[in-house]
Chain A
Amino acid sequence: MTSLYEEMAPTPADEVPVRQVTITVNGERRSARVEPRLLLVHLLRQGFKLTGTHIGCDTTNCGACTVLVDGTPIKSCTMLAVQADGHDVMTVEGLAGPSELHAIQEGFKEEHGLQCGFCTPGMMLTSKALLEENPNPTEDEIRWALGGNLCRCTGYQNIVKAVMWAAEKLGDGAVSTAEYGDGEVTA
């Protein structure tokens, strides 16, 4: 059991309302006791130590905090942790398999789709949702889908190429390695 409250606040627990949440994160069921005001991104980063999800603008603009909730990209700096209770969350840590990168990660590597890497987790998760809905997107469709993810390094060209690379690889019948077991773990 992770009690984020204890980590983040010095006051005794009985003075602050606490809720228990249970979220499936990257295929594992995890529970935590959280303040109702805690943002999902903070639970992921500080509570579950999944620091691949980044906080960029903190105002729902930049998309660095993008995660998939029930397969849909959302900005986790604008969702409360309690709102994810009972739902399925995927972070960038869930993309790679035990020994192999996800095709989208490979694409970013092959096409130099990142420089500083700060926006990359969000870019990749939005791309994953796009490719699941539309396995053969055009360049315009990729640019449209990534409109909510900002990058200050690459000028986007290589990010778009990386997604096209991944689409091609996945289209070749290459199987995604990011399949989870049914393991149930309480942190």
Chain B
Amino acid sequence: MLKLRFASPEMLVDINEIPDLAYHVRDPDGAIRVGALCRHADLERSTLLAQHQPTMMGAAPVVADPIVRNRGTLVGSLCHADPQGDWASVMMALDASVIAYGTQGRRSIPIRDLVSGPFQNTLSYDEIAVEAVVPPPQGVATGGYLKLERRVGDFATAGVAVAIDRVGDRVVRAGIGLTGVGGSTIAADDAAAVLIDGSLSAENISEAAELAAAAARPHTDHRGSADYKRQLIRVFTRRLLNRLTTAGEEAA
């Protein structure tokens, strides 16, 4: 932001030397908390996420490139509020929140309320984001993240995050987040609603994929046409959901 002259703050505070913010942990109730200095690379190598959080595990290895992942953070990515950022759609699909800390104490900001526009967040000038919190799953957490990029390190041409909590075959919670197909990250709530309280049947999956594509607001640019990006959303949503079905698991 500074190098592109999008921002020219009078003072910049570097939080990198603050101790004890580099954690990511799973609480006894199943909530996952990610500290502000936990790097993408930490999450990419995390056995905790590999065991418990497939949507985050799907995204961690495809954020930016390996060197950038050594330095960048999940919480930083959320606050940066780039409509093409990968973590925002993942955290939206998971109904996550960000914990802000400031002179007035701590408060929790749902991810949907954190972003007020492209590259704008709702943190106050005297607050910093210290943690992202993914609520405990209602059942078994399943899901994934798919992203098309022109080359390693590029922003998403389009990306889809799917987070489904299930008890047996029944979907008890569903979230779908869309990356790079609008002026901000999109929560495809209508698509997710189709899945709740049902099973991942072929009809439900098809309908969810159509509704996700309908929720996208892509623009034609150097990464592809609007129609192409909308089709990517349709295919990725279907592909992710198909993977979660018994047939998909057997095929895999």
Contact = CB atoms under 8 A, between A and B. Distances in A.
Interface of A: 36-37, 58-61, 63, 66, 72-75, 78-80, 82-83, 126, 144-149
Contacts of A63: 65, 67
B227 to A, nearest CB: 28
A119 to B, nearest CB: 12
A83 B65 contact: no
Contact of A148 (B2, B16, B65): B65
Interface in B50-74: 64-68, 70-71
A61 B152 CA distance: 9
Given A58-B3, A61-B153, A78-B71, A147 B14 contact: no
B7 interface: no
Interface string B1-12: 011000000001
Please report whether the interface of chain B is mostly helix, strand, loop or mixed according to DSSP. loop
A137 to B, nearest CB: 12
Interface of B: 2-3, 12, 14, 16, 64-68, 70-71, 152-153
B16 A83 contact: yes
B67 A149 contact: yes
Contacts of B66: 73, 126, 144-148
A174 B15 CA distance: 41
Contact of B68 (A83, A144, A148): A148
B241 to A, nearest CB: 27
A147 B153 contact: yes
A74 B153 contact: no
A58 B132 CA distance: 30
A126 B153 CA distance: 15
Contact of B67 (A36, A58, A59, A66): A66
15 contacts: A36-B12, A58-B3, A66-B67, A72-B70, A73-B66, A73-B70, A74-B67, A74-B71, A75-B67, A75-B71, A83-B14, A147-B152, A148-B64, A148-B67, A148-B68
Contact of B65 (A37, A58, A79, A147): A147
A60 B14 contact: no
Contacts of B153: 61, 147-148
Nearest to B2: A37
A67 to B, nearest CB: 10
Contacts of B68: 60, 75, 148
Q: Which of B3, B14, B64, B66 has the most CB of A within 10 A?
A: B66
Contacts of A144: 66
A126 to B, nearest CB: 6
